[in-house]
Structure 1
Amino acid sequence: MNFELTFEQQLLQDSVARFVEKDYGFEARTALVKSGSRCDGRHWATFANNGWLAAALPEAQGGLGGTLLDTVLIAGQFGRGLVIEPFLGCAVAAAQTLLAGATPAQRDALLPALADGSRRVALAYSEAGTRGLPAPIATCAEATAGGYVLNGTKTLVLGGTEADAFVVSAMHGGELRLFVVRADTPGVTCRAVPLHDATWAAEITFDIAAVPGDALLGEPGTGLAALQHGLFQATAALCAELVSAMDKTIEITAEYLKVRKQFGVPIGSFQVLQHRMADMAAETELARSMLYALLATVETGTPDDVQRTVSQAKSLVGRAAKYVCGQGIQLHGGIGMTDEYIVGHYFKRAVVADALFGNADLHESLVAEALQHSLNNERVQA
């Protein structure tokens, strides 16, 4: 895989970086959080007008025809600014699941509105018992004369509080199927859930929620694969966020060590603190390399390779982010613990990110299982 950015990709990255620097400084973000906003409409309009919502959607449905790399470039810059708008949940997880699971006619009907920002759709797949994995699930759909009836509860629905509709996974006919459910459907209840990093999720309850027949997405046998595709894309974007958060934490901490003095000298001159900064930099580079490996595998690997590498990335990058951002707080001392100072907010994001799409321990166990299965197959073949 060629990791050199094209001219267009460099322009894309630079445009997002300018937005974050100009409109999403820490003071502006703090004011937005204190206002209770869950998604600033002006910012979402900026995302749409600049094509960031459409970056990885097909041109035929109003997108720009980009790839996962474009999504990662955008998410990375959003990670530096700790952007609270639900780009990850709506523009990546939900949009990519729709793209993978919908029929051509459904794509034409649904994706253009996501690309231009006129509609927001959130992915409702996680349940209390799934630990962030797509299956097995308890939510079920039953066929009726006019369509389907859904029953169940979904948790940690990113962007769900502001969504016009949800992509919902449910068991129907013995397999996982996807449904597009309007937020105002009778029987659908949305409870807002504030997260530790100032972002919001939702708990969605479906209590005999009736939906029409055309709410069912795609063809039989495609639901699980489409959902996995959306989660793979979202996990890569989240890893990019965290790598950039680590970069920013190191930058902030390095600057602090230059100006904070003890015994008449900058504390950055103390060798023990230099060693800790070196450890932070090493962990960040390992995480960046893991992200590159994930991007390469998504482009060229088999489905099993992609699944294994996604789990490896989620585990390694998540743990590295908590370590690096936690060290940033430690090196700042008491001020790093306050909400009025930025460095602690990167650690909060790392903690929340670990809980999304399955935590580090879960994905590490999935990697171990995959390796054990591979070893067993080799023994049988031998």
Structure 2
Amino acid sequence: MDLTEEQKILRQAAEEFLRKECPKDLMRQRRDDSREFDSALWQKMANLGWMGVGIKEEYGGSGGNFSDLAVLIEAMGGVCLPVPFFSTVVISAATLEQSSASDLKTKLLPRITAGELVCSYAVTEPGNTYGLVNIQTKAIPDGDGFSINGSKLFVEYARSADYLLTVVREGKDLLILMVDSSAPGIEIESYDTLDYADQCEVRFNQVKVPVSSVIARGGEATTLLKNLEERSAAGKCAEILGGIQVVLDMSVDYVKD
């Protein structure tokens, strides 16, 4: 990908910052660290404006597009950055901004860009297949909202998240909700993995969610989720590329020595 001059400056600044704030021994230190992520590092990133890349200025962002965001993701992949940037900014904030949920966007996006909120996405469910056809978590109409029942797997940083972007079924249609993680009936279990991202299972047991939490439903939800899948795949490729480049550079240096 050919970078613009602005993107080259962004990449250089990001790499310099991450070399200082996320040295190689940080991952070793995290083995004995009970914190899900470093909140001080998270706030420094917010102060640099990283949480607002790709988000419109009217919501506190700095504008830009996914290519700008990919520059940051690649740099983060080079240091295996242990913070919930991907789940919060790349997935949750972007999906919310692309929706027609104007009240939710006004309420949450400025707080995300300021580094005040952490979000995760709860999509994958138990089963033999992966994809939207496997969504079985139910949203049953209940008063002025819904009652949610079901479970989600591989929810990154769920224990740290303030909100969970959750995909459920409302009858035959898909429904995307922004669920407050402190709502009664939510159970979160963290799994031990080789990943730094605090992978969790989230169980919803008659969780009451107001109708104001709806991001999208029906056709709009399906379109947003397809965009989410494409964005997630491209973002992970950028992240992996950053890691591979560091491995290649280390290998070359080793051979030279």
TM-score range, shorter chain: over 0.9
User: Which of 181, 202, 207 is matched with 1:183 structurally?
Assistant: 181
1:193-342 to structure 2, matched below 5 A, reads: 193-218=191-216, 220-259=218-257
Q: Is the 8 A contact 2:101 2:214 kept in 1?
A: no
User: Which of 153, 156, 178 is matched with 2:154 structurally?
Assistant: 156
Structure 1: distance between partners of 2:170 and 2:127: 18
Moved more, 33-42 or 120-129: 33-42
User: Which of 63, 78, 82 is matched with 2:76 structurally?
Assistant: 78
Q: Is the 8 A contact 1:100 1:230 kept in 2?
A: no
1:6-21 to structure 2, matched below 5 A, reads: 6-21=4-19
- Kindly state the Cα deviation for residue 100 of structure 1 after the two structures are TM-superposed: 2.2
Partner of 1:92: 90
- Kindly state the Cα deviation for residue 144 of structure 1 after the two structures are TM-superposed: 1.2
Structure 2: distance between partners of 1:252 and 1:4: 24
Partner of 1:368: none
Q: Match for 2:134: what amino acid?
A: P
Q: Does 1:138 align with 2:140?
A: no
- Kindly state the Cα deviation for residue 82 of structure 1 after the two structures are TM-superposed: 1.0
Q: Which has the higher strand share?
A: 2
Query: Structure 1, residues 208-260: CA drift from partner, whole Å, max 9, x if none?
Result: 1111121122354211211221232122111011112111111111222233x
Q: Is the 8 A contact 1:126 1:154 kept in 2?
A: yes
Gaps of 5+ in 2: none
Structure 1: distance between partners of 2:177 and 2:194: 30
Q: Is the 8 A contact 2:174 2:217 kept in 1?
A: no
Q: Is the 8 A contact 1:124 1:157 kept in 2?
A: yes
Runs of 4+ in structure 1 deviating by more than 3 angstroms, as ranges, are none
Partner of 2:54: 56
Instruction: Report 1 or 2 for greater relative contact order, CA contacts < 8 Å, sequence distance ≥ 6.
Output: 2
Identity %: 24
Q: Does 1:69 align with 2:73?
A: no
Question: What TM-score results when the alignment is normalised by the length of structure 2?
Answer: 0.94
Q: Is the 8 A contact 1:79 1:242 kept in 2?
A: yes
**1:130–1:229 CA distance, 2 compared to 1 (3 A):** farther
Structure 2: distance between partners of 1:222 and 1:184: 27
Partner of 1:40: 38
Q: Match for 1:8: what amino acid?
A: E
Q: Match for 1:212: what amino acid?
A: P
Partner of 2:102: 104
**1:96–1:134 CA distance, 2 compared to 1 (3 A):** farther
Gaps of 5+ in 1: 260-382
Q: Match for 2:102: what amino acid?
A: P
Q: Is the 8 A contact 1:134 1:228 kept in 2?
A: no
Question: What TM-score results when the alignment is normalised by the length of structure 1?
Answer: 0.64
* 3-state SS, counterpart of residue 221 of structure 1: helix
Partner of 1:118: 116
Q: Match for 1:80: what amino acid?
A: G
Q: Does 1:147 align with 2:142?
A: no
Paired positions, count: 257
* 3-state SS, counterpart of residue 133 of structure 2: coil
* 3-state SS, counterpart of residue 4 of structure 1: coil
* 3-state SS, counterpart of residue 125 of structure 2: coil
Q: Match for 1:20: what amino acid?
A: L
Q: Is the 8 A contact 1:33 1:198 kept in 2?
A: no
* 3-state SS, counterpart of residue 148 of structure 1: strand
Supply the RMSD in Å over aligned alpha carbons: 1.7
Structure 1: distance between partners of 2:163 and 2:7: 31
